Chain A
Amino acid sequence: MSGKNDNKQVTTYKKKSQLESIWFRYKKNRLAMVGLFMLAIMILLAVSAPLFADYQKDAVSQNMKLRYLEPSFVNGHIFGTDHYGRDVFARVIYGGRISLFVGLTSVIISALAGTTIGSVAGYYGGRVDNTLMRLMDVLLAIPQNLLAISIVAALGPGMFNLLIAMSVSGIPEFSRIVRASVLNIKNQEFVEAAVACGTNDARIIRKYIVPNAIGPLIVQATLAVAKAILSISALSFIGLGVSPPTPEWGSMLSEAKSDMRLYPYLVIIPGIAIMLSVVALNLIGDGLRDSIDPRLKN
């Protein structure tokens, strides 16, 4: 009987789940690890901000006696103080909370909504697909930042409205990506196999289609967070994000506009903060793309 012949196999199969394989490949990518490290530090700083500075005392309250102190290790303000005497370091790490929180959360919401819309459109096709995707096209026709601006302008500034604006404006792109993946996956034989067992549509989408569409989605999501951080900064820069005195990197840039010549550090420091987070996320996104890619096909 041909039954048990493979139990004598000399080799053992390395039981790597797909997550482990992906992490294994990711680790080898130096730049990707640097990105991960950078992001981890930033999140750590943002989360543990109260350990470093007091929100009210350092980041918000004005202290005209301490205005425009240059960054130094000795005077207790390593990033200096701004035009209101507020500690820049404290403002940067508290500001990071906003950028990172709104960035990450808005992308999560967009991704969830986009995935639902994209998978339903891709799976059912026909009129459902047309209707949903034309709706998405309407949103896509407006540049993402402008869309965010109009939503915030309508709802008013503030972190919560910012979150709504960022989430909504990010949905169409995710729905497009997921729909493309779904169109590809639904024609694979294993989906046919599921139909042949009498599996219903909901289960097919849930267990067969979406898990296989996650790859490109995750890469896109990481890059979208970077974009979101830039957008948030841009919106705050023009006064449509969070309102003063809440610290945020973009509004810090805006407030320091006029002081650029005399006190460049007020512009450089928040600028670097934005840049580092975007670079970190891009490196992570690229690293993920390379490690999720099934190059090593057996």
Chain B
Amino acid sequence: MTSELLKINNLHVTYDTDEAVVYAVNGLSFTIDRGETLGLVGETGAGKTTTALSILRLLPNRIGKINEGEILLNGNDITKASEKDMRAIRGKQVSMIFQDPMTSLNPILTIGDQIAEVLKLHNPNASKSEISERVNKSLEMVGIPADRKEEYPHQFSGGMKQRVVIAIALACEPELLLADEPTTALDVTIQAQVLELMMELKEKLNTSMLLITHDLGVVARICDRVAIMYAGQIVEYGTLEEIFTGEKHHPYTEGLFGAIPDLKKETKRLNPIKGLMPDPTNLPSGCKFHDRCKYCTEKCAANEPRDIHIEGDSHIIKCHLFDK
């Protein structure tokens, strides 16, 4: 059994809407090893959520299409899997946590029932008492007293709801957890609690995680490796050290770090990245970042840059600047 749990090769995903074709993911590749947490960082419209939905084949029915590429889960290409196979995978091998805990839970079922549901789906032969035991265990694992399992979602606060969502996602002890901005909607102090919980559970269950976020602070806390995403592509990829401390960076990464107000230093003005995210129905030619890049050259507007390995295998930057 290799250490590679998930491997995505050259993924291309589009949304074919009434008005235009949206090029959401344009040649995405990355790997997640067992027990590893990969942070997928980018702003709105970069294609991060689309990537996660593609893994679980949850793209909107007639509109979302995987046009090219493979998604290998334990060596098997799941883009070719049948819907029946995917149902067996969802919740059991791969689980997902969505961004908004307020709307992720079914308001008319008790939280105990919602956890039990995923357990029953993947353990059809388990007895009622077995399921009940496991529900209690799940709740305790996320710090909710088991006697609250008869309560309804509206009786819980935002942070508690997110804990329930995590309990549901981890109930069957999946190998891979896709977490889409799991703490963005939460207060700062609650965010801290939930992240600590996720780190604990990750250790305990040796779950791999794809953490989607725009918050570099969260990434610094919890991730092992980082992929920076822009306009449907990964523009920089590396370990936590390489991304946060290295000298060489993709100009977009540089821009992202520069745009954040620094708690340590006093700055008069921030350094925003000029311009806006490109329209995914009408992406720029050449390097998709070229019109916002302060280092842009003629080559950048004409040719797409390739993935350059910086000093060894793990740090990759997609930029002409590093192409010597």
Contact = CB atoms under 8 A, between A and B. Distances in A.
User: Do A and B share a complex?
Assistant: yes
Contact of A11 (B17, B18, B282): B282
B275 A8 contact: yes
A91 to B, nearest CB: 43
Interface string A1-24: 010011011110000000000001
Interface in A267-298: 296
Contact of A2 (B272, B282, B284): B272
A11 B288 CA distance: 12
Given A296-B17, A296-B19, A10 B278 contact: yes
A166 B116 CA distance: 55
Contacts of A11: 278-279, 282
A25 interface: yes
B188 interface: no
A270 B185 CA distance: 60
A11 to B, nearest CB: 4
B324 interface: no
A5 B18 contact: no
> Main SS of chain B's interface residues?
loop
B282 A5 contact: no
A10 B272 contact: no
B268 interface: no
B275 A5 contact: yes
A57 interface: no
B19 A8 contact: no
A272 to B, nearest CB: 34
Nearest to A25: B18
A6 B18 contact: no
A9 B276 contact: yes
A164 B279 CA distance: 53
A203 B200 CA distance: 56
Interface residues on B, range: 10 to 19
Nearest to A21: B19
Interface residues of A, number: 11
A100 B53 CA distance: 50
Given A25-B18, A28-B18, A6 B272 contact: no
Interface in B281-312: 282, 284, 291
Contacts of B274: 2, 5
Contacts of B291: 8-10
B319 to A, nearest CB: 19
Contact of B275 (A6, A24, A25, A296): A6
Interface string B44-65: 0000000000000000000000
Interface in B255-281: 272, 274-276, 278-279
Given A296-B17, A296-B19, A9 B275 contact: yes
Contacts of B278: 10-11
A219 B19 CA distance: 23
A6 B278 CA distance: 11
A296 B279 CA distance: 15
A6 B274 CA distance: 8
A268 to B, nearest CB: 39
A113 B50 CA distance: 47
Contacts of B284: 10
Interface string B1-21: 000000000000000011100
A10 B281 CA distance: 12
Contacts of A28: 18
A11 B45 CA distance: 15
A200 B18 CA distance: 40
23 contacts: A2-B272, A2-B274, A5-B274, A5-B275, A6-B275, A6-B276, A8-B275, A8-B291, A9-B276, A9-B291, A10-B279, A10-B282, A10-B284, A10-B291, A11-B278, A11-B279, A11-B282, A24-B19, A25-B18, A28-B18, A296-B17, A296-B18, A296-B19
